[in-house]
Structure 1
């Protein structure tokens, strides 16, 4: 009798009390208005900040690039600025200038040196950490990553003092071995001095990305390769390297964008080396137009050109990576 009572009581306890006039909750029950709006409230702050600090400035820059300021004398002698529509004249003026093209060529050569050296060293460090002692792995990653945490301006000033002939420790080393002290800030070496700063600061970020990708590879794959007689070098080249190609494409993309937009290092080094001019790289020329000559409209056009170049190179990287991945 007691068992039959419990069996009857089970379904009773499982029943839910539903208030009159309200449909029972379930998978097919429609959400209320408050529940439907909740996701939009959560994403509203991010969308607002994205619009205020990215979309609106981009739109305003595009607007400025199609206008030019005409200065005329006012009624009482005061200068008056009038914006006039000039179409693509500002873009043409930028593209016709030799300073822009020489700076762009220098930025391209800068990228051809910085990107492969940085990615190559980052990959070597990532592979070394992947097979290293686990107790030393965290300390080693931190030491390699620290240069990336140093702001570019501070890193350039620090290296600038080491490059300068009066404060450089390299001068004593060269003198000790009987070699003449090189002028790291002169015409022939200042470019490579800046490349060294960029490589020193960029290895850490790329190493973290690649090491994270290596950490996500199942260890069973390595064990199977070792059972088949593969050496650690062969595992690194034929197993690990192909599996981290997507992460390498990611770091390559950021390297290309960073090369086109290089600014902090040469702009800071300009105060130490007379070999670096105001238009040494494209962004320095844009800064000169905007803040030294007051040509904000032309500077906006130059910024859009640089953005389009970076966007085009990014698409090229993705396209080449896609063709390689599909085997075309």
Structure 2
């Protein structure tokens, strides 16, 4: 009798253990705390790298900007260097210098030329590729994107040799048509020569961003516009452009930040053109202070000022974009 009771109780116990909503007990059952910890383990490497290579350097730069190395006479006559808190003196010294402001004005003018030309040409190429033959689209995108893959220093050296009067192929072209050869590295043209390098190298990146945005637009919208009698030009202006405005804001933001932080092209071109001075743009002045004069504290203050300017311009771009999007 006892055996029959156990036999009847066995299936019931099994049914209870396998009831819906109940996980089987045992060592293989996952623990709830393990699931909570997993996301943090996945993001830990990224947070660690972000902290080591961005947050800590920024914090150290802020710390340096409020101090200055003062030289004083020691007890036995030897000079001693001590780090002294000076508050905002380093920031004031940077802002009172005419070199910084002239370089900042030059960087601003550089951005006013480079950003609209680059974005305009990138948009034209993106629209052309969007309606082009599919077989030629990949090849065309690759050709346009290649200049962006060339490092800025290499691109500047390459263009520098083409600008130089002894190695420039443009001299023969101008001579053939009876025009004097312009001095691309002289005072009047070196600025525009650098603008040309930046435009040449920046079109590819912006074109890829805009073309990707165009590729994500449903084709049914174009078909509906064509049924209504819209031409391809009207579709591009009234349909495509409004839909890629967010991507254009994204590229505009990167263009503004890049203009404020322009450095590689003028610094490399400096060896080829005597017209480019050590403080030609703000980052070149910061580099001169840090590595040529040893004023690391003042250079840190200059870097903080440039970062704040870039941050302020970025907020301005977002604010203007938000007002345009809301219709204000």
TM-score, normalised to structure 1's length? 0.92
CA deviations over 1:195-243 (Å, ceiling 9, x no partner): 0000000000000000000000000000010011100000000000000
Shift of 1:33: 2.1
| Worse overlay, 36-45 or 261-270 | 36-45
- How far does residue 11 in structure 1 lie from its aligned partner after superposition? 12
C-alpha change, 1:224 and 1:87, in structure 2 (3 Å) is same
Relative distance call for 1:21 and 1:317 in structure 2 (3 A) is: closer
Cα deviation, 1:171-206, whole Å, max 9, x if unaligned, reads 000001110000000000000000000000000000
d(CA) in 2 for partners of 1:218 and 1:22? 46
- Change in Cα spacing, 1:230 to 1:278, as seen in structure 2 (3 Å) is same
The alpha carbon displacement at 1:36 in A equals: 1.5
**Change in 2 beyond 3 A, CA 1:250/1:4:** farther
Task: Output the CA distance in 1 between the equivalents of 2:198 and 2:136.
Answer: 26
Question: Displacement, 1:9?
Answer: 17
Cα pair distance change 1:220/1:74, threshold 3 Å: same
Aligned mates of 1:122, 1:221 — CA distance in 2? 23
- Assess, with a 3 A threshold, how the Cα gap between structure 1 residues 6 and 25 changes in structure 2: closer, same or farther: closer
Pairwise CA distance, 1:12 = 10
Per-residue deviation, residues 118-149 of structure 1 (Å, max 9, x unmatched)? 00000000000000000010010000000000
- How much does 1:293 deviate? 0.3
Change (3 A) 1:17 1:101: same
Q: CA deviation at 1:32?
A: 2.2
Aligned length: 328
**SS of 1:15's equivalent?**
helix
In structure 1, runs of 5+ residues without a counterpart are none
Write the distance in 1 (CA, Å) between the matches of 2:213 and 2:79. Answer: 60
Aligned to 1:37: 37
d(CA) in 2 for partners of 1:211, 1:4: 76
Report the RMSD for the aligned CA atoms in angstroms: 4.7
Residue 304 and residue 133 in structure 1: after superposition, are their counterparts in 2 closer, same or farther (change >3 A)?
Answer: same
TM-score, normalised to structure 2, is 0.92
| Alignment CA distance shift 1:4-1:296 (3 Å) | same
Q: Counterparts of 2:186 and 2:232 in 1: how far apart (Å)?
A: 44
Residue 279 of structure 1 aligns to a residue in which SS?
A: coil
Deviation per CA, 1:63-83: give whole Å up to 9, x if none: 000000002244455442100
- Name the CA distance, whole Å, in 2 between partners of 1:3 and 1:106: 97
Q: 2:239 and 2:216 mapped to 1: Cα distance?
A: 13
Contact 2:69–2:83 under 8 Å retained in 1 = yes
Q: Distance in 1 between matches of 2:225 and 2:8?
A: 61
Q: What is the distance in 2 between the residues matched to 1:151 and 1:49? A: 24
1:91: how far off? Answer: 0.3
Partner in structure 2 of residue 71 of structure 1: 71
Judged with a 3 Å threshold, the aligned counterparts in structure 2 of structure 1 residues 19 and 12 are, in CA distance, closer, same or farther, namely closer
- Cα displacement string for residues 42-70 of structure 1 (whole angstroms, at most 9, x for unaligned residues): 11111111001000000000000000000
2 CA distance for matches of 1:165 and 1:211? 38
| 1:305-327 deviations in Å (ceiling 9; x for gaps) | 00000000000000000000100
Q: Which ranges in structure 2 are unaligned for 5 or more consecutive residues? A: none
Distance 1:235 1:28, change over 3 A: farther
- Structure 1 range deviating more: 171-180 or 13-22: 13-22
